[in-house]
Amino acid sequence: MNILIIRILLIIRMAIMNKKENLEFHAEFFKTFSNSKRLEIFDLLKEGEMTVDALSGRLEIPKTNVSQHLTLMRKMRILRTRRDGRNIITG
């Protein structure tokens, strides 16, 4: 996802949240990027959509770890997923 799109989404969220909710959201959002592997995942996904298997191979970490990182990033709506047969594609 493009950085500009992320900034626009943050601005929209700030407009509809009260101050406390806004601060809590930002704390969680930036905590999502406090892990170097999640930053690597984000960087790899700039190249295009990938499966957990592909990310795991590129990052050289177990699929379970990749899935945990992706789950956190999806909860913050940083990533989207779609199903392609048996595979879940992240982008």
Tens digits of residue pLDDT in 12-24: 776 776 777 778 8
Which range marks the domain in which residue 71 is found? 3-90
- What's the pLDDT at 20? 78
Coil/strand/helix, residue 48: coil
CATH number of the domain bearing residue 11: 1.10.10.10
**What's the full length of the chain, in residues?**
91
Q: Which pTM value belongs to this model? A: 0.71
Number of domains composing the chain: 1
